[in-house]
Amino acid sequence: MNQLVKTAEGVLSSCLAVKKGEAVLIVTDNTRKEIGEAIYEAAGNLGCERLLMVMNERELSGQEPPKAVAAAMKSADVVIAPTAQSLTHTNARIEAAKAGTRVATMPGITEEMFSQGAMTADYSKVEKLTAVVTEMLSKASVARIEKDGHTLTISINGRDGVPSPGVYREPGKCGNLPSGEAYIAPLEDGSEGEMIVDGSMVGIGKLDSPLHMVISGGKLRSVTGEKSENLDILLKNETNGTLCELGIGTNEAAVLNGIILEDEKVYGTVHIAFGTNTSFGGVNKAECHMDGIILSPTLYLDEVKVIEDGVFLV
């Protein structure tokens, strides 16, 4: 049995708890077909009713899949989606979850990532730390990120933290795989300050040099640095430029590789994102959802120091 099929069996069993006879739908695109086929084979080995749908690659993360795919997602027991662009923040994913489907999205996954790194984590450990951090996010009113002399203050008052431990075993549970993060939708007008993004950035990949961002009134006002012109969509309008997410990586096996799916899970990193957050408690629907990773940050939730220079203190 090849490594991809073996990993897929582990993921279906431990992260999604698939049962014999369940309908497992694999949604993939023409760039990730091999991974889709490996999961299809694994689902068959586990005695599932399996379906494989291959669509054209979407143009942007957050773009809706074809209607036929969205309809099938709602009627499956489990959906697993290895795709180039993210389906995480789509209405199709939201509606499927409402219908009770367990959904694991894998935007940007590569064959290499599928067989090593974050996918190989001890997910029970990831689950425990993620739960602790999620609770802290839910209770806090303000988050403060400090890095290289820059400070960004983010209002999270009244919003609930969301766990993404990579374990989706109950009806309607969903999130990314590989996973390991706790995240929250900040108040859309409640972020002020400046920040350095130096790990990776959607639209650019792994960063050779840092990006400098200025944020006021919850909106991105400027971004400078190498290849910052790739982020013009964020400055096109205030909806796209709204700071929409604060996330904290909790997966010790994750490695920074320029693919956001894994990068945002790296242990002790913090990420901020701009654009859509309607799928996790926010009210901003934009044309995009683009994350940037901050390496070795110091993070306070209210006045509790949670991370110091990339090391968890909780």
User: What are 89-110's pLDDT values in tens digits?
Assistant: 899 999 999 999 999 999 999 9
Average pLDDT for residues 142-161, to the nearest whole number? 98
- pTM exceeding 0.85: no
User: CA-to-CA distance for 222 and 45, rounded, in angstroms?
Assistant: 51
Give how far Cα 135 sits from Cα of 69, 124, 141, 254, 307, Å. 34, 17, 12, 22, 15
Average model confidence (pLDDT) across the chain = 95
- Which residue do the tokens 């309008």 mark? 237
| Residue that the structure tokens 């923040």 belong to | 89
Lowest mean pLDDT across 7-11, 152-156, 216-220: 7-11
Q: Which residues pair with 176 in a beta bridge?
A: 105
Same domain, 61 and 125: no
CB 115 within 8 A of CB 7: yes
Tally of domains in the chain:
2
Same domain, 107 and 137: no
Per-residue pLDDT reduced to its tens digit, 199-242:
999 999 999 999 999 999 999 999 999 999 999 999 999 999 99
Same domain, yes or no: 23 and 126: no
Same domain, 20 and 162: no
Considering the domain architecture, whether residues 144 and 63 belong to the same structural domain is answered as no
Q: How far is CA 88 from CA 85, 97, 173, in A?
A: 9, 11, 12
Res 124: pLDDT: 81
Structure tokens at 210: 């840092």
Last-in-domain residue among 115, 135, 157: 115
In a shared domain, residues 107 and 124: no
Give per-residue burial for 294-309: e unless 16+ CB within 10 Å, then b. Answer: bbbbbbbbeeeebbee
Q: Are residues 107 and 145 in the same domain?
A: no
Closest alpha carbon to 125 in 243, 250, 225, 8:
250
131 and 278, same domain (yes or no):
yes
DSSP assignment string, the chain: --HHHHHHHHIIIIIT---TT-EEEEEEETTSHHHHHHHHHHHHHTT-EEEEEEEPPPSSTTPPPPHHHHHHHHH-SEEEEEESS--TTSHHHHHHHHTT-EEEEEET--HHHHHSGGGGS-HHHHHHHHHHHHHHHHH-SEEEEEETTEEEEEE-TTPPPEEE-S---STT-EEESS--EEEE---TT-EEEEEEE-SEETTTEE-SS-EEEEEETTEEEEEESTTGGGGHHHHH-TTTTBEEEEEEE-BTT----S-HHHHTTBTT-EEEEEE--GGGT-----S-EEEEEESS-EEEETTEEEEETTEE--
Question: For the domain that residue 104 is a member of, what is the CATH number?
Answer: 3.40.1830.10
Q: Residues 39, 169: one domain?
A: no
Residue at a domain's end among 87, 115, 143: 115
Residue 1 pLDDT > 80: no
The domain of 236 spans 120-312
Mean pLDDT, range 25-32, rounded to an integer: 97
Regarding whether 167 and 244 lie in a shared domain, the answer is yes
Last residue of a domain, one of 92, 115, 138: 115
Whose tokens are 């926010």? That residue is: 282
Q: How far apart are CA 76 and CA 66, in angstroms?
A: 16
pLDDT of residue 94: 94
Same domain, 209 and 69: no
CA distance 186 to 161: 10
Note whether 41 and 143 are same-domain residues: no
pLDDT level of residue 122 (50, 70, 90 thresholds): confident
Reply yes or no on whether the pLDDT at 43 is more than 80. Answer: yes
